[in-house]
């Protein structure tokens, strides 16, 4: 009896311990402080003064643009393959039909190499559908297809991060439901990033330290990117309530350097339909542009970044999980998360502001790379979906626990403390 009781309490104790450890782990995962991340990031701090070769990064970045190249060159086994049907099940909020559009020739018009798939919004096509794409945010348990055949693939599609989950949907209800994921995350079955960077010359995204020193000491162009710039940093923003602490960071940065905030959350105005013009003007006048996302999740890098790279300005990002290091050339952006605190970031920006040589080094990559973020580039995910539907060798797959894949493995940092 005593023996049994002892065991009982021991197992209770271990359950409590496990729960406590899980809780601490979760807290650490969800609320990392600016400082705690420093140690992790220190080894890949990428300032010209202390370059570090990162073989895994070289591999990973190469894999990424090569994957997009593969998507752009896929083939179908037979030229007379019959069309596949892709049913876009629910509504995408901005009304643009999942950003691909519906129709017989949509994929061909988007430049897909395999385009023999018809996209449709017509739910009566459910029986023919080879794939049914569900937009995460408007997925509802009581609004799903009534019948399902085993050959059909149900696709989980999202362009947003998981940070906004609790108000809108519950991935627990999506257990054993989806076959493939289709998101900006690079470990999705069908990868659909907001953009990517592709070398157009014989140079990797992450050249070795020695190569980098050479690149940085031999500016290729005659362009002086600092010329005519009279202002420090600009930020165009419309959503003030993000969970990425971006507003807190900018506010703190403003204690040391001028950051002009345009839009609803700031003091400078720029009408929403003029955003492109504003940005173009801003990137001519300002040395730095704050390219800050609304959430800090694995691979969540949106047009804010890719668009900024196209301009003659240095993007300042707040990057967890080495999101930016994995997709952009070395020394093409400044990652605020790599600094010990905002003061040090400010000091670094001021150093670049005072020294045109250092400032211009951030543009070394311009002749060697191309930023790919056009509408057609963004359609590559759908291109690949079509090619995959035509691929007879792919075996069945099911996401038994989508919460794990999406909510947990996205490793979102929620409102980290800014120091
Ligand atoms: C890079 O990739 C190659 C080929 O896939 C592999 O052999 C090598 O071990 C990888 N290196 C690192 C550092 O991951
Ligand atoms: C494609 O055409 C070939 C030769 O005409 C035929 O044997 C084959 O069955 C066709 N395939 C499909 C999927 O229609
Ligand atoms: C600017 O930085 C470069 C490269 O580090 C250095 O050689 C140069 O002396 C600096 N110029 C000034 C004015 O500090
Ligand atoms: C089908 O998918 C497999 C596994 O991803 C791939 O190796 C193969 O090249 C694909 N076949 C075609 C015709 O695309
Ligand atoms: C898709 O998922 C369903 C539900 O889990 C499963 O029954 C079916 O075999 C899967 N089909 C494919 C082609 O992966
Ligand atoms: C899915 O995994 C999460 C942890 O990642 C767990 O909390 C949840 O209970 C699991 N759901 C199902 C349906 O198994």
60 falls in which pLDDT band (50, 70, 90)? Answer: confident
52 falls in which pLDDT band (50, 70, 90)? Answer: low
Helix (H, G, I), strand (E, B) or coil at 385: helix
In percent, the amount of the chain with pLDDT more than 70 equals 84
* pLDDT recorded at residue 13: 52
For 259-303, write each residue's pLDDT tens digit: 999 988 888 887 767 888 889 989 999 999 999 999 999 999 999
Residue 109 has, within 13 A of its CA and on its CB side, a CA count of 10
Nearest CA to 99 among 138, 157, 139, 143? 157
Residue identifier of the C-alpha nearest atom 10 of ligand 3: 355
Nearest CA to 283 among 254, 243, 310? 310
Centroid of ligand 6 to alpha carbon of 292 (angstroms) = 31
Helix (H, G, I), strand (E, B) or coil at 155: strand
Apex 378 CA angle, 376 and 383, nearest 5:
75
Other CB atoms closer than 10 Å to residue 146's CB: what's the count?
Answer: 6
Centroid of ligand 5 to alpha carbon of 154 (angstroms) = 8
Centroid of ligand 3 to alpha carbon of 357 (angstroms) = 6
Query: Which residues make up the CATH 3.40.50.11660 domain(s) of the chain?
Result: 202-370
Helix (H, G, I), strand (E, B) or coil at 2: helix
Nearest CA to 324 among 68, 61, 54? 61
Region of poorest pLDDT, from 23-37, 81-95, 221-235: 23-37
Other CB atoms closer than 10 Å to residue 333's CB: what's the count?
Answer: 23
Give, for ligand 2, the residue of 77, 80, 83 to mutate: max count of ligand atoms closer than 8 Å to Cβ.
80
Contact 289, 314 (CB under 8 A): yes
Contact 205, 326 (CB under 8 A): no
Nearest CA to 50 among 171, 159, 213, 160? 213
If one compares 83 and 52, the residue with the highest pLDDT of the two is 83
Residue 115 corresponds to which tokens in the numbers above?
A: 């385009």
Residue identifier of the C-alpha nearest atom 5 of ligand 2: 80
Q: Is 392 in the pocket of ligand 5 (CB under 6 A)?
A: no
Of the listed ligands, the closest to the CA of 357 is: 3
For 296-345, write each residue's pLDDT tens digit: 999 999 999 999 999 999 999 999 999 999 999 999 999 999 999 999 99
For 85-137, write each residue's pLDDT tens digit: 999 999 877 667 888 999 999 999 999 999 999 999 999 999 999 999 999 98
The CA distance from 390 to 131, in Å, is 11
* pLDDT recorded at residue 1: 29
4 falls in which pLDDT band (50, 70, 90)? Answer: very low
Contact 169, 135 (CB under 8 A): no
Q: Is 12 in the pocket of ligand 1 (CB under 6 A)?
A: no
Q: Is 78 in the pocket of ligand 2 (CB under 6 A)?
A: yes
Nearest CA to 269 among 242, 238, 246, 248? 238
Give, for ligand 1, the residue of 58, 59, 61 to mutate: max count of ligand atoms closer than 8 Å to Cβ.
59
| CATH (one of 1.10.10.60, 3.40.50.11660, 1.10.3720.10, 3.30.420.40) for 202-370 | 3.40.50.11660
For 348-365, write each residue's pLDDT tens digit: 999 999 999 999 999 999
The CA distance from 156 to 180, in Å, is 6
Residues 6+ apart with CB under 8 A from 137: 93, 158, 160, 164, 168, 169
Please state, in angstroms and as integers, the Cα–Cα distance from residue 374 to each residue in 46, 145, 306, 377, 401, following that order: 28, 33, 10, 5, 33
Residue identifier of the C-alpha nearest atom 14 of ligand 6: 401
Dihedrals phi, psi of 134, to nearest 5 degrees? -115, 125
Other CB atoms closer than 10 Å to residue 293's CB: what's the count?
Answer: 21
């Amino acid at each position: 009896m005593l023996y049994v009781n002892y065991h009982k309490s021991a197992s209770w104790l271990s359950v409590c311990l496990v729960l406590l450890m899980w809780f601490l782990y979760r807290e650490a995962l969800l609320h990392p402080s600016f400082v705690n991340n420093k140690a992790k990031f220190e080894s890949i701090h990428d300032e010209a003064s202390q370059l570090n070769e990162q073989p895994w990064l070289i591999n990973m970045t190469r894999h990424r643009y090569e994957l997009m190249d593969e998507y752009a060159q896929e083939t179908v086994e037979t030229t007379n393959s019959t069309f596949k049907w892709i049913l876009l099940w629910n509504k995408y909020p901005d009304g643009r039909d999942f950003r691909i559009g519906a129709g017989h020739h949509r994929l061909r018009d988007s430049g897909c190499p395999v385009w023999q798939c018809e996209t449709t919004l017509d739910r009566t096509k459910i029986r023919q559908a080879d794939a049914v794409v569900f937009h995460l945010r408007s997925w509802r348990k009581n609004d799903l297809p009534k019948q399902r055949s085993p050959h059909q693939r149900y696709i989980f599609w999202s362009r947003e991060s998981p940070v906004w989950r609790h108000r809108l949907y519950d991935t627990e209800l999506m257990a054993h439901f989806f076959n493939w994921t289709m998101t900006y995350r690079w470990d999705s079955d069908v990868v659909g990033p907001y953009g990517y960077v592709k070398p157009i010359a014989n140079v990797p995204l992450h050249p070795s330290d020695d190569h980098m020193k050479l690149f940085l000491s031999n500016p290729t162009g005659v362009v002086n990117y600092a010329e005519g710039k009279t202002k420090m940093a600009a930020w165009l923003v419309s959503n003030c309530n993000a969970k990425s602490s971006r507003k807190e960071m900018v506010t703190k940065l403003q204690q040391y350097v001028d950051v002009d905030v345009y839009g609803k959350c700031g003091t400078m105005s720029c009408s929403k339909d003029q955003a492109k013009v504003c940005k173009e003007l801003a990137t001519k006048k300002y040395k730095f542009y704050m390219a800050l996302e609304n959430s800090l999740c694995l691979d969540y890098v949106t047009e804010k970044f890719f668009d900024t790279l196209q301009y003659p300005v240095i993007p300042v990002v707040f990057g967890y999980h080495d999101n930016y290091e994995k997709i952009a050339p070395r020394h093409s952006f400044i990652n605020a998360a790599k600094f010990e605190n905002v003061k040090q970031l400010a000091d670094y920006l001021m150093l670049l502001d005072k020294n045109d040589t250092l400032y211009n080094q951030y543009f070394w990559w311009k002749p060697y790379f191309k930023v790919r973020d056009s509408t057609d580039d963004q359609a590559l995910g759908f291109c690949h979906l079509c090619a995959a539907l035509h691929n007879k060798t792919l075996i069945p797959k099911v996401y038994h626990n989508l919460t794990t894949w999406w909510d947990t493995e996205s490793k979102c940092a929620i409102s980290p403390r800014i120091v």
